């Protein structure tokens, strides 16, 4: 009996959490997973960019334009306490707009200008072939800038941590500087750590 109890006690000794591991769990990007914080997460990004894309397509400047307006994405400004990958925000808005607009908008690849410039120079010097006159200026100018800002308000008390984030996007007419569209989304999260961490 003594040996049996000793063996049992010994087996429970390592204190390893999830000793057999946790299998990979597929989640939808818009659902809250079991690993969460109070910062910017995938479900927030999906919800916000979906809302913005739907909203922007409904405005007359886009919906009723005779030719697709040309838009440049200006990186969002992060004014929260959470560092974020701003490219992912821009990329999702762009892909959603491209997907949903069915050609009603044209995005300009300004972030690729260095590579595009290089390619144009190669064409102009005759080092590579060109199907059009390489000397012609064909890089398009923007009609609108699409940009945004994330603003945050954080509170911590004994009851826990609360983070409110306001996601605001704007479409700016580059000729007049008029803000022709603006929309926002708000997300608030709260949480409290285990007492061992307080």
Partner 1 sequence: MKGFLQAALLACLVAVTGCATGAKPLPLNGDVFHDAPLAIEQGPPRDKLLWQYRLALAEMRRGQFDAAKPVLDDALLTLGGLYGKDSEARKSRRLFQQEAKKTFIGEPYERAMANYYRGILYWRDGEIDNARACFRNAEFEDSDAEAGEYKCDYTLFDYLDGFATSKLGGDGSDAFKRAEASARGAKPPAYDKSVNTLLFLDFGPGPVKFGAGKYNEELRFREAISPVQSVQVKLDNEIVNIKSADDLNFQATTRGGRVMDHVLANKAVFKSATSTLGDAAIISGAILATDHEHEQAGFALLAAGLLTKLVSAATTPQADTRCWEALPQFLALGQFKLKPGQHTATVNFLNAEGKTDPKFAKQITFTVPEGRDAVIYVSDQSTTPQTQ
Chain residues in the site for partner 1 (CB under 8 A): 2, 5-7, 9-10, 12-15, 17, 35-39, 77-84, 86, 154, 156, 160-161, 191-198
Nearer to partner 1, 112 or 135 (CB): 112
- In angstroms, the CA 69 to CA 96 distance is 16
Cα 73-79-81 angle, rounded to 5 deg: 130
- In angstroms, the CA 167 to CA 149 distance is 6
Nearer to partner 1, 20 or 131 (CB): 20
Give the nearest distance from C-beta 16 to partner 1 in angstroms: 8
Nearer to partner 1, 3 or 24 (CB): 3
Give the nearest distance from C-beta 11 to partner 1 in angstroms: 9
Give the nearest distance from C-beta 124 to partner 1 in angstroms: 25
Which run of H or E residues covers position 157?
strand 144-157
Nearer to partner 1, 6 or 179 (CB): 6
* Neighbouring C-alpha atoms within 13 Å toward the C-beta of 2: 0
- In angstroms, the CA 91 to CA 105 distance is 15
Give the nearest distance from C-beta 161 to partner 1 in angstroms: 7
């Amino acid at each position: 009996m003594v040996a049996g109890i000793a063996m049992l006690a010994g087996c429970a000794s390592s204190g390893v959490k999830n000793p057999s591991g946790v299998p990979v769990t597929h989640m939808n990007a818009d659902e809250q997973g079991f690993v969460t914080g109070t910062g910017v997460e995938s479900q927030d990004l999906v919800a916000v960019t979906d809302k913005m894309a739907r909203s922007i397509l409904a405005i007359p400047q886009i919906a009723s334009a005779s030719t697709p307006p040309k838009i440049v994405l200006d990186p969002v400004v992060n004014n929260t306490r959470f560092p974020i990958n701003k490219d992912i925000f821009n990329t999702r808005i762009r892909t959603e707009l491209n997907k949903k607009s069915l050609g009603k908008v044209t995005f300009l690849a300004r972030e690729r200008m260095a590579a595009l410039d290089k390619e144009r120079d190669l064409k102009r010097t005759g080092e590579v072939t060109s199907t059009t006159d390489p000397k012609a200026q064909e890089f398009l100018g923007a009609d609108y800038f699409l940009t945004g800002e994330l603003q945050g308000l954080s509170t911590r008390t004994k009851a826990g941590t609360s983070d409110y984030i306001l996601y605001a996007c704007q479409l700016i007419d580059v000729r007049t500087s008029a803000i022709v569209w603006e929309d926002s989304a708000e997300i608030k999260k709260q949480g409290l750590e285990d007492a061992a961490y307080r």
